[in-house]
Amino acid sequence: MSVYIMADEALFQFLHNEVIQYIYKSSEHGEMENGRCITKLENMGFRVGQGLIERFTKDTARFKDELDVMKFICKDFWTSVFKKQIDNLRTNHQGIYVLQDNKFRLLTQLSAGKQYLEHAPKYLAFTCGLVRGGLSNLGVKSIVTAEVSVMPACKFQVMIQKM
């Protein structure tokens, strides 16, 4: 891995950390409770995801179905943002997809101890929004949630909203 790619990753990670800290610092002043911080992060991710897909899919062929879109998110989209693919994609074929990342980049910096597990949600909110925004710009409306069982592994659940 070249030093430039390493720096790219680091740039995103550091800026992402700054955003979390900034938003949570505002909340300490009593201006926002935790839920609203998560929502703010999720909304930021949503807009960034929309923007990325807009640039990203200019030259990309249309997708043939929903599964095809999800595969694109798991491979190309994930690699561009996190430098690796999603490790496992599962679906119930009824509009629920589970994307598993066994080594999620935005969690690897947190220590693996159980006491850090409670901090995980704020490191996942932006990415939930990122996926939702990306999908949205590909015409797929969804609700995206995330859960961590053993750090830094992480599952994102995408529930497609039929329109």
Going by C-alpha positions, the residue among 110, 109, 108, 89 that lies closest to residue 99 is 89
Residues 12-31 as x/- pattern, contact with a second copy by CB under 8 A: x-xxx-xx--xx--x----x
Q: Is 6 in the site for a second copy (CB under 8 A)?
A: yes
Using alpha carbons, list the distances in angstroms from residue 59 to 11, 53, 62, 137. Answer: 26, 11, 9, 15
> Residue 109 or 161: which CB sits closer to a second copy?
109
Q: Is 87 in the site for a second copy (CB under 8 A)?
A: no
DSSP 93: S
3-state secondary structure of 147: strand
Among 34, 36, 47, 112, indicate the residue that binds a second copy (CB under 8 A): 47
DSSP 117: G
Q: Which stretch binds a second copy (CB under 8 A): 47-55, 63-71, 97-105, 136-144?
A: 47-55
Q: Is 88 in the site for a second copy (CB under 8 A)?
A: no
> Do 87 and 106 touch, CB atoms closer than 8 A?
no
Residues 127-146 as x/- pattern, contact with a second copy by CB under 8 A: --------------------
> Residue 7 or 112: which CB sits closer to a second copy?
7
Going by C-alpha positions, the residue among 155, 84, 83 that lies closest to residue 124 is 155
3-state secondary structure of 129: helix
Q: Please report, as ranges, the residues that interact with a second copy according to CB under 8 A.
A: 3-4, 6-8, 10-12, 14-16, 18-19, 22-23, 26, 31, 40, 44, 47-48, 51-52, 55-56, 76, 79-81
